[in-house]
Amino acid sequence: MIEWIIENWLSITVPTVVFLAFFVVAVWVRRTFFNYLNRVFAKIKWEGSEILLQTVKTPFFRWCLIFGAYIAIQVSTLSPDGKVLTGRTLGSIFVISLTWTVIGLTEKLLHLYAGRLKMPALPTTLIINTVRISFVVVGVLILLDVWAVFTTPLVLVLTIGLLVTVLVSREEILNIFSGLRLVHGDLIKTGDYIKLESGEEGYVSDITWRNIRIKATDDRIIIVPNNKLAKTTVAAYREPLRQATQPFRFSTRLHIKELTGLKAKNLSELVNILKDVPDSVVYYHTHNFIEEYQYLIPQPANEFALWVGDVIGDEILAEKLSNIDTFEFSTIGKLRERIIAVINDWLSTRGEERTAFKGREFHFIKSVSVVLTTSYIARDLREFVESLRNVSINSLYFHIFESRLRLHRGVNDFSIWLQDSLDERELADEIAALDPYNYTIEGLRSLIIQLIEKRIK
């Protein structure tokens, strides 16, 4: 044995020195390379950096040793067939180690992002198993190639199978990758207020591996696939808005017409009946008239003025009645008194009174109101302006005009909420100062939206 070592010491020493050199270099390279990676990951702040470093650090050292052993074998005096066999064995060990490491790293990263995307357990397990099988197949193919086994038919079959799987699961795959992009890029976060190009808007309530959920102002949940979201234009508002101490709940009001059987053929009869009818009758011919025929605004302002001008033919009195500011009065009683006073003053200056033709008498109608709560709720200015775009004219009229009668404060519901719940005093005053005679109800809607959007910006 000693004689053999003395005779072959050079053929033993050279491979050993080469292997030890690679061992030293491997220690130095691992320390230097991973210190560099630590500095890079500290700058980019990738959440998967710790997983990558812990998973790859030990196998990286082994791979360096395998490479060193391979070089040592190649410079040794081993026979060519022995070198080929040993090289293939070391290559197989390297492929198995690399495959095992990549599978472990991929599984940990998938678990990390699945948690952030709140993916259910079943699809998470399915994806991990698919990835694991894919890497195992690739590893086996590489091993077969290392040992010079003919693999073309197997590769062809696997390629066809992979293409079929991708085509069948195309939408799901796109949704998953789009979800990863959304989460990793911090493009959209839960709690953001977003508006899609297609018109949907609201607060992001949840982001999953398949879709994003948007809570609209009427409490509808809008589900948008991640793939569709990635293809459309999205406006995101991340600056948090002040939350109201009390949410604004939009209501609406419906009117039921009820004939009273009372009618007047001249101004004297009109005044006498007007003195005794319920407030709901006066309301119908003033406030409800403006709402129903809002497109005629600013003239006339009430149905009495319309009848006097069109039927009685007294344009001067009709103009005087039209000049009565319906919304100046906080009660129906005061509005009634003002209308009666204008007609009586006019009658005191007239000698002969005009009479309506038969069938053109003024018919007194009673308004029966039903107040309903809508599904629209606003907790901040963005939700408020979005609700304004969608509520009906009846709802706008209820909150802008009828509030003056309900609250006896001469101001609308919107201004009161903006001031009391959001402390938006300036905006509340701007809306309260709007003269309803100068706009249609739709015109008021547009103007209020403009004022609020200007405040948001």
The CB-based long-range contact list for 193-200 (8 Å cut-off, 24+ gap) reads 193/236, 193/237, 193/241, 193/382, 194/234, 194/235, 194/236, 194/237, 195/234, 195/235, 195/237, 196/224, 196/229, 196/232, 196/233, 196/234, 197/232, 197/233, 197/234, 198/232, 200/224
- pLDDT tens profile 12-67: 677 777 778 878 887 888 888 888 888 887 787 777 788 888 888 888 888 888 88
Mean pLDDT over residues 74-94, rounded? 84
pLDDT beyond 90 at 337: yes
Q: Which pLDDT band holds residue 336 (cuts at 50, 70, 90)?
A: very high
**Bond from prior residue into 298 cis (ω within 30 degrees of 0):** yes
Q: Residue 307: its pLDDT value, please?
A: 93
Q: Which pLDDT band holds residue 120 (cuts at 50, 70, 90)?
A: low
Question: Residue 59, Cα to own-chain centre: how many angstroms?
Answer: 44
The CB-based long-range contact list for 30-35 (8 Å cut-off, 24+ gap) reads 30/57, 30/60, 30/61, 30/64, 33/60, 34/60
CATH class of domain segment(s) 185-237: mainly beta
- Residue 217, number of CB atoms within 10 A of its CB: 24
Q: Determine what percent of the chain is predicted with pLDDT higher than 90.
A: 17
Could you tell me the residue ranges of all domains in the chain?
A: 2-176, 185-237, 248-456
Q: Are 381 and 452 in contact (CB under 8 A)?
A: yes
Q: Determine what percent of the chain is predicted with pLDDT higher than 70.
A: 79
- What type of residue is 79? S
pLDDT beyond 60 at 261: yes
pLDDT beyond 60 at 184: no
289/443 Cα distance (integer angstroms): 17
Higher pLDDT: 272 or 187? It is 272
- Geometric angle at alpha carbon 186, from 180 and 191, rounded to 5°: 110
Mean pLDDT over residues 322-329, rounded? 81
One DSSP character per residue, 117-144 reads: HT--HHHHHHHHHHHHHHHHHHHHHHHH
Higher pLDDT: 126 or 24? It is 24
Mean pLDDT over residues 422-436, rounded? 87
Q: Residue 196: its pLDDT value, please?
A: 78
pTM assigned to the model: 0.48
Taking CA atoms, 2 is separated from 10, 13, 14, 409, in Å, by 14, 15, 18, 114
Q: Residue 123: its pLDDT value, please?
A: 62
- 3-state helix, strand, coil split of the chain in percent (to 5) is 65, 15, 20
400/416 Cα distance (integer angstroms): 11
Q: Are 201 and 218 in contact (CB under 8 A)?
A: no
Tell me the pLDDT of the chain averaged across its residues. Answer: 80
**Looking at residue 22, what DSSP letter applies?**
H
2/268 Cα distance (integer angstroms): 142
Q: Residue 277: its pLDDT value, please?
A: 93
pLDDT beyond 60 at 169: no
- pLDDT tens profile 363-404: 999 988 888 889 899 988 888 988 998 898 889 888 887 777
Q: Residue 153: its pLDDT value, please?
A: 63
Higher pLDDT: 13 or 174? It is 13
Q: Residue 147: its pLDDT value, please?
A: 79
pLDDT beyond 70 at 328: yes
